[in-house]
Structure 1
Amino acid sequence: MKATRRRALVLTDDAAGHPFRRSLPLHVRARPLDEDVQQANSLAKLRWQMMGGDWQGFLRAYCASFVAISIFIA
């Protein structure tokens, strides 16, 4: 495995892997998230997840729209 070298004229880090991650400064990639940030991220993820009732409502609306458009076209 190659050792990461710090080069003064290059603004990328070859060990980062993805081109976007290479362009990020080292302090952005290396810093772990604070506990409240992790908790806020988990709450946001929970809010954006679709539960069973959400899928049922979406499916009902989709089917009703499909039937109404099919009747209108036919």
Structure 2
Amino acid sequence: MRRALVLTSEGSRHWFRASLPQRRAAFADIPANTPIDWRLTADDVRGVATTYFATVAAVLAFIV
């Protein structure tokens, strides 16, 4: 028997998903033309370096 990939009726949804509240637009109040400021700060670099060296130290500790 061959079934369609997409369900055609909303009544055949999973019982748990049917019990969840309806989704709302999470970012409806943010205008689409607002520029997003993605700047790399010194705190970001310090966090990446700290994580890297901590991981290297942990791997070396398990090897030795």
TM over 0.5: no
TM-score, length-scaled by structure 1: 0.39
Calculate the TM-score normalised by the size of structure 2.
0.44
Q: Which has the higher helix share?
A: 1
Structure with more relative contact order (C-alpha pairs < 8 Å, separation 6 or more): 1
